[in-house]
A and B are shown apart, each in its own frame.
Chain A
Amino acid sequence: MSAAAATEPVVEIASASKWYGPVIGCSDVSWTLRGGIVGLLGPNGAGKSTLIKMMAGLHRPNRGSVRVFGADPYDDVAVRARIGYAPEHEKSWDDLTGLEVTTAMARLAGVPANKAEAAAKDALAVMGMTDAMKRNVRGYSKGMRQRTKLATAMAHDPDFLLLDEPLTGVDPMARADILARIEALAKAGKTVLISSHVLYEVEALTEEILVIYRGQVLAEGNVFEIRRLIDKRPHRIRLDCEKPREVAKLMAGADHVVHLGLDATGVMIETTDPDRCYDELAATIVEHGVAVSQLTSPDNNLSAVFDYLTTGRGADS
């Protein structure tokens, strides 16, 4: 990318508002994205998906404007060929194989018919789905669905990737793998906007964040500023697995674990050092062969920090 091109905005949002009847999705959002990886953070219902859908051309703002590469993505069909969008939901065309879905997506995004399957295979290989690509999506795990979804977003080699909660519900191994693959895409010159309600997921990828809360931009800039706020409060991680009692016993000795909650299907860990906790959990799972069904972070801490910011005490951030 040339220096001039690098400074041209990928996204320009000017006073954009979107509402659904009485419900406000986004309110007077203004923001410019010039490139790189940016994390879009906010609790569930904050308006992240609304903002992403407006950038993907799925929703039209009621007020203001959203422009991607200088064009309105809702009306300008051609600009959508430069966008790769992975929605937050897991629904897919379950009757088709992963390869068929990804090939169709590549073709629909404008890849020539004779190259679409090769492009799909490449994208699925990048997401580590080669072995499973000829199986029906119906039989895929949550992690495999997420990987396939990401492959469909990138198969047509877009310049700008919009990834809406791509790490929700995936196991720790897959999470680390997907993050590494997204990072590689950014290093290859793609602009990536990744949304999450868990700061630590995004932090592993980028320092640049946009925090949105109740439909409004609350903060934008460097992740370490907000990280300092969050670290003052424990972070919760829930692991649904086959042997929750054993995992709890193994994690109990860690100095960063401040509380452990146990039930029949999983263990809830409260930690003051999420990075270490995720690393140690991954190591424990591998070492003891624990079958994991889901790893999530309820992360009320983030909401607490949003409250902190909105009450003005965190105005400096």
Chain B
Amino acid sequence: MSTAKRGALSTGAAIGAVASVVSKRFLRGATLWIGVALALLPIAQAALIASKVRVVDVLLKINLWKLAGAHPRPTDLSWLSGTFGFEMVVLGIVSALVVAWPVGQDIEDRTATYLWSRPLARWTILVGKLAVLVPIVLVIFLGSWTAITVLAKVTPTPAPFIGLAAAVIAASFVASALALALPKHPLVLALLVLALLDPVVGAMNGGIALVTVSYNARVIGGFEDADVVTSVIALIIVAGVWLTLALRRIAKTEV
């Protein structure tokens, strides 16, 4: 046997090595494709709205809009507000599936023992996983929003993309913390919090909405008439708290 001499990897190499194995496993599983399929739902919704708008445009041209009860086409992105809200719900589902599920599953089926017995700091394992999973969710949702803007025939503006990207990162941190807190049921817990509780609380009036991912993302995306800076700060705090919880949890979890 060759004597492949070893020592603990540097932080960057450790994160890279974890990311490498996570990406190999993830790309061969079905979860990625389920996530992509789910992200098609808001696109379908936007396509439906776009086709309705086109009908209205025709009616307007032939001056039948009053008869049809149609209204003039909005000039800004505001009419995609509902679609963005729907994106937030789907993001909750996809984050639960793509982030919470693999993080929790490794602990539940004890394959985490392989990683955790290696000379790696626990936090590098979580960061290595997120380094693969977050960009995957980002690509899914930024791609989805691009498709929506194309279908809706609106000029893309940066704000919704920034809001969506911030939401993806924050939702991934929430999902990983929940999975580490309750690895037996990572999917159910993350779905409840991200796809149900977060949008409901985010729709409430008052300051409580600031603790949610969906509300702050809507503000940053330009779909709420509220202070963007406040929401940026709120979302950074929300994401930071959940990431800290996840890192503390992984340092203490035993498999």
Interface locus among A28-36, A82-90, A201-209, A274-282: A82-90
Distance between Cα atoms of A115 and B7 in the complex (Å): 13
The SS class assigned to the B binding surface is: loop
- B residues 102-117 near A (Cβ < 8 Å) are 109-111, 113-117
Chain B residues whose CB sits within 8 angstroms of the CB of A107 once the complex forms: 9, 17, 20
Distance between Cα atoms of A77 and B115 in the complex (Å): 12
- Least CB distance from B210 to A in Å reads 37
- Least CB distance from A128 to B in Å reads 13
Chain A residues whose CB sits within 8 angstroms of the CB of B24 once the complex forms: 95-96, 100, 104
- Least CB distance from A151 to B in Å reads 10
- Residues of A at the B interface (CB closer than 8 Å) are 53, 56-60, 77-81, 83, 85, 87, 89, 91-93, 95-96, 100, 104-113, 115-116, 118-119, 122-123, 125-126, 152, 154-157, 188
Chain B residues whose CB sits within 8 angstroms of the CB of A152 once the complex forms: 114
Decide yes or no: A104 and B21 within 8 Å by CB, A78-B8, A87-B110, A89-B110 being known contacts: yes
Chain A residues whose CB sits within 8 angstroms of the CB of B116 once the complex forms: 57-58
Q: List 14 A-B contacts (CB under 8 A).
A: A77-B119, A77-B121, A80-B120, A81-B6, A87-B110, A87-B113, A105-B114, A108-B118, A110-B6, A111-B6, A119-B2, A122-B4, A152-B114, A157-B5
Classify chain B: how many residues form its interface, as a range.
20 to 34
B153 at the interface (CB under 8 A from A): no
Q: Are B4 and A57 in contact (CB under 8 A)?
A: no
B18 at the interface (CB under 8 A from A): yes
Chain A residues whose CB sits within 8 angstroms of the CB of B117 once the complex forms: 56-58, 80, 83, 85, 87
Q: Are A89 and B8 in contact (CB under 8 A)?
A: no
Q: Are B8 and A80 in contact (CB under 8 A)?
A: yes
Q: Are A96 and B25 in contact (CB under 8 A)?
A: yes
Most chain B CB inside 10 Å of its own CB: which residue of A105, A109, A113, A155: A109
Q: Are B8 and A104 in contact (CB under 8 A)?
A: no
Chain B residues whose CB sits within 8 angstroms of the CB of A96 once the complex forms: 21, 24-25, 28
- Residues of B at the A interface (CB closer than 8 Å) are 1-9, 13-14, 17-18, 20-21, 24-25, 28-29, 109-111, 113-121, 254-255
Chain A residues whose CB sits within 8 angstroms of the CB of B9 once the complex forms: 107-108, 110
Chain B residues whose CB sits within 8 angstroms of the CB of A122 once the complex forms: 1-2, 4
- Least CB distance from A17 to B in Å reads 14
Chain A residues whose CB sits within 8 angstroms of the CB of B6 once the complex forms: 81, 106, 109-111, 156-157
Distance between Cα atoms of A85 and B120 in the complex (Å): 14
Residue of B nearest to A97 (CB): B24
Chain A residues whose CB sits within 8 angstroms of the CB of B110 once the complex forms: 87, 89, 91
Q: Are B4 and A118 in contact (CB under 8 A)?
A: yes
Q: Are A155 and B4 in contact (CB under 8 A)?
A: yes
Q: Are A109 and B25 in contact (CB under 8 A)?
A: no
Residue of B nearest to A118 (CB): B2
Decide yes or no: A157 and B114 within 8 Å by CB, A59-B254, A110-B119 being known contacts: no
Decide yes or no: A58 and B113 within 8 Å by CB, A77-B8, A108-B120, A156-B4 being known contacts: yes
Q: Are A95 and B29 in contact (CB under 8 A)?
A: yes
Residue of B nearest to A20 (CB): B254
Decide yes or no: A104 and B20 within 8 Å by CB, A77-B121, A157-B5 being known contacts: yes
